[in-house]
Amino acid sequence: MAVHEKIKFIRQLKGWSQEEMAEKLAMSVNGYGSIERGETNVNLSRLEQIAKLFGMELSELVALNEKSVFYMSGSNSTGQINQEHCVINSHAPEDQLFYTQKELEKLQLIIELKDKEIFLKDQENMHLQKIIALLETNVLT
């Protein structure tokens, strides 16, 4: 799959129109359309900008192929929040299983990190509440 095809594919997954993409990239709709049609050689900075809009690294966008697995979360043009997409495209079932397991492991690690962040925020809130209580006690006395 060529880069311009990948860009179109991900844009469609996100539910964005070409007009929305062109606006996000501060370019004309015709200019953006020519990128998706493969009529324009896209420079590196523009590719980085597109990858950033998609919430991925440039290397992920360029390396994306028929055997790729990727996960996207966000809102689309219809205003649906946390719309999620997990795309698995592989010809061999064992490849699908392998990449699905890897994606699951990745998502489990993300959940663990989020849980740790929540725990640390809870701890921070508890300490801040103690500080506030001490300050209030000192102000009243």
Q: Give 86-114 pLDDT, tens digit per residue.
A: 444 444 556 677 778 888 888 888 899 89
Same domain, 101 and 74: no
The contacts of residue 45 (CB under 8 Å, 6+ apart) are none
Tell me how many domains the chain contains: 2
Same domain, 48 and 113: no
Please state the pTM of the whole predicted model. 0.49
Which residues form the domain of 24?
1-89
Q: Are 36 and 49 in contact (CB under 8 A)?
A: no
Average of per-residue pLDDT across 65-77 = 48
**Final residue of a domain: which of 67, 89, 111?**
89
Residue 76 sits in the same domain as residue 97: no
User: What's 34's domain CATH number?
Assistant: 1.10.260.40
For CA atoms 32, 2, 59, 107, the dihedral sign is positive
pLDDT digits (tens, 9 = 90+) for 121-136: 999 999 999 999 999 9
Mark whether 6 and 66 lie in a shared domain: yes
In terms of domains, do 5 and 45 share one? yes
